[in-house]
Structure formats: C-alpha cells, structure tokens
C-alpha cells in the first residue's frame, strides 16, 4: 500500500493511501486515536476501519497527525489535528475528484476530530465513530446530526461509559438522517476483544450506504 506525503499546515504529514480501481469509487478518510496514549495510523482499530473501506471498494486514506511517526510538528490535542484532517481531506478529494460518496471514520480521539470535520466541511455522505470519548471531550458541537452514520462502542469500556455514548447517538437528527448505535458486547475501549464484531457492523453499515 503506497506511502504518501501530504502538505499539512504544520509541515508534511505521513499517510497510507489505497486507490480503488475505479476512478469514480467513493472515498473515506480514517483518523487515529490520541498519540499521547500510543495512537497512530497503524493502531489495530484504525487499520481495521481502513481495510473495511478498502474491501468495500473505496479509495481510502489514513495518516499520522502532526508529531506522530514521520509527520512534522507537535501534537496540540485538538485544533492542530483538525487542521491536519482538513488538509488530508482536501488532498484526498483532489486525488479522487469523481468520488460519488464521501465518508469519514475515526477511533476515539480520531472520532472526535472526524465529527468536527463533518460539522466544518459538510458534503459528507456517512461517518463511522468508534469509541467516541464523549465523557472526556466536548461534543457540544453536535447539536443535531446532519449526516447519517454509525457509532460503535464496547459495553466493557472502562474509559468512556457506554451510557454517555448512547446519549450522544440519541441526539436529534435532521430530516432524512439516521445515526445507528452498535454496542459490541464485552469490548473494551481498545477492542482487545470484539474486533471481529466491530469489523462486521462497520462493513454492514458501509455497504448499506449513508
């Protein structure tokens, strides 16, 4: 899978990009968890999301936020990483201008950044948010869901209580929008178990579309 270098606002960003055979394939951007806790674009859940989109026929990009791996800069904990995601998203759209559908996916901290990207950029057709840290970070920007998608959370997550994530998933939706919630029984925040179920529900939702 080709390595790519993206011009980010703080310097170059290291990425991995899979280009689908068809030029009019849908596209997806996958975002990794907090590097302060070991998160990178090669984290298992991130790789699983990446391959799920790849197997579904998408062109898909994952990358390291600033200060991670070979990406230039220093981790900021929010604003800088959102700017990185915007740069990566612009790169992906430029690479695949004929894409008929556009998705964003993220794990933990990456889901927080991804949902902010949805709110700021618009034009997305779907999202996947795995283990969104709704008890630790501010998701107040999600006043009403305006993009359909899927939230996945482990029932044994000791870092982010399931009840908080269920409340996030239950927020009102704009007309014609549906946000599904998929609990994975016995899974921790990092999905040390439940990885197969995670991949199954994600693939099912991607296949169904936004």
Tell me the pLDDT tens digit for each residue of 16-28.
Answer: 999 999 999 999 9
Three-class DSSP category at 114: helix
Residue 58 has pLDDT above 90, yes or no: yes
Q: 124 near 103, Cβ under 8 Å?
A: yes
Residue 62 has pLDDT above 80, yes or no: yes
Put the strands of the sheet holding 11-18 in their side by side order. Answer: 3-8, 11-18, 59-63, 27-31, 102-107, 126-130, 149-154, 179-184
Q: 41 near 15, Cβ under 8 Å?
A: yes
| Residues pairing with 129 in the sheet | 106, 151
Reading the block at residue 37, the tokens are 């806790």
pLDDT in tens, 95-124: 999 999 999 999 999 999 999 999 999 899
Q: H-type helices in the chain, by residue range? A: 44-55, 79-95, 109-121, 162-169, 195-208
Residue 2 has pLDDT above 90, yes or no: no
The class that CATH gives domain 3-208 is alpha beta
pLDDT in tens, 132-167: 999 999 999 999 999 999 999 999 999 999 999 999
Q: CB under 8 Å to 68, separation ≥6 — which residues? A: 14, 32, 35, 39, 40, 41, 75
Reading the block at residue 141, the tokens are 């920007």
pTM of the model: 0.97
CB atoms inside a 10 Å sphere around CB 146 = 15
Mean pLDDT, residues 31-53 taken together: 98
d(CA 13, CA 4): 8
Give the residue among 43, 50, 44, 93 at the shortest CA–CA distance from 65.
43
Reading the block at residue 158, the tokens are 């000791």
Length of the chain counted residue by residue: 210
Residue 1 has pLDDT above 90, yes or no: no
Distance from the Cα of residue 74 to its chain's centroid: 21
pLDDT in tens, 178-205: 999 999 999 999 999 999 999 999 999 9
Residue 209 has pLDDT above 90, yes or no: no
d(CA 151, CA 93): 24
């Amino acid at each position: 899978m080709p390595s790519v270098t993206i011009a980010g606002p703080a310097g170059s960003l290291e990425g991995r990009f899979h280009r689908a055979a068809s030029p009019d394939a849908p596209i997806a951007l996958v975002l990794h968890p907090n590097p302060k806790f070991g998160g990178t674009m090669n984290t298992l859940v991130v790789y699983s999301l990446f391959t799920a989109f790849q197997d579904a026929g998408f062109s898909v990009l994952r990358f390291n936020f600033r200060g991670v791996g070979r990406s230039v800069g220093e981790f900021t904990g929010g604003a800088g990483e959102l700017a990185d995601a915007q740069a990566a998203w612009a790169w992906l759209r430029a690479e695949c201008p004929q894409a008929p559908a556009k998705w964003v996916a993220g794990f933990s901290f990456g889901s927080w950044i991804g949902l902010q990207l949805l709110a700021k950029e618009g034009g997305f057709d779907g999202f996947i948010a795995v283990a969104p840290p709704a008890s630790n970070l501010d998701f107040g920007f999600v006043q009403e869901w305006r993009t359909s998608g899927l939230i996945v959370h482990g029932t044994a997550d000791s870092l982010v209580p399931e009840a908080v994530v269920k409340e996030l998933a239950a927020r009102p939706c704009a007309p014609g929008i549906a946000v599904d919630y998929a609990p994975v029984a016995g899974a921790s925040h990092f999905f040390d178990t439940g990885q197969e179920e995670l991949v199954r529900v994600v693939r099912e939702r991607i296949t169904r579309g936004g």
